[in-house]
Amino acid sequence: MPTDFTKKTCREFVDALASSAPAPGGGGAAALAGALGTALGNMVGSLTVGKKKYADVEEEIIQLKAKCDALQAALLDMVAEDARCFEPLAAAYGIPKDDPNRAAVMEDALMTACSSPMRIMELCCQAIDAIAVFAEKGSRIAVSDAGCGAALCKAALQSASLNVFINTKAMADRDAAEALNDRANGMLEMYVPMADDIFDAVLSGLE
């Protein structure tokens, strides 16, 4: 089993990321960034619950916080999962090029390697949806954290997409590759502008 770098210190994680080791890599970093961004949105919720000024949205915020608790945990789990999904591809690259099974093994490994960053993207989209509500309805004293959370989740979303695209580019099955590209691009087209809108709205409120 791959090392779960979420159990390491921040410094150990960064040192491992900077090393020549195949994992953690861009996917694991994206998952961690997404978890951090989600947590920042969740913090806005924590500072909203229990305040009389926000009593009318408290139940909605409580429910949203529970969703973000689950999203944070899922994104942290994806750090190790991304490393696990990369293992077959790392092994496939070591197969001699004259091996008749290499192409089939490589294709399966590329598909597996796409699965984790695609899931990270999906989780980041859900997080951006939640952060939009925190930014709109949450405590004004922490609204900057919602903007920070949106920026981090956007970065995580875009970073994870590159880990999809580098693998789909190498696929022989172009129909499968384009289907994955379409899914990834659809998320980017919808949620990058949404994250930008959240950030811009927060920024304009601070000027």
% of the chain surpassing 70 pLDDT: 99
Q: Whose CA is closest to 157, among 181, 182, 134, 191?
A: 191
Q: Measure the CA–CA gap between 104 and 109, rounded to whole angstroms.
A: 9
pLDDT in tens, 121-152: 999 999 999 999 999 999 999 999 999 999 99
What mean pLDDT, rounded, does the chain reach? 95
pLDDT of residue 3: 72
Q: Whose CA is closest to 127, among 41, 43, 193, 26?
A: 41
pLDDT in tens, 66-80: 999 999 999 999 999
pLDDT of residue 2: 61
Domains delineated in the chain: 27-206 (1.20.120.680)
Q: Do 29 and 6 form a contact (C-beta atoms < 8 A)?
A: no
Looking at residue 133, what DSSP letter applies?
H
Is the pLDDT assigned to residue 193 strictly greater than 60? yes
41 to 50, 67, 158, 189: CA distances (angstroms): 17, 11, 18, 22
Q: Do 36 and 76 form a contact (C-beta atoms < 8 A)?
A: no
Is the pLDDT assigned to residue 1 strictly greater than 70? no
Q: Do 159 and 200 form a contact (C-beta atoms < 8 A)?
A: no
The pair of structure tokens assigned to 7 is 């159990």
Taking the whole predicted model, whether its pTM rises above 0.85 is answered as yes
Q: Measure the CA–CA gap between 207 and 203, rounded to whole angstroms.
A: 7
30 to 26, 78, 93: CA distances (angstroms): 6, 9, 23
Query: Which residues neighbour 176 within 8 Å (Cβ) at sequence distance 6 or greater?
Result: 111
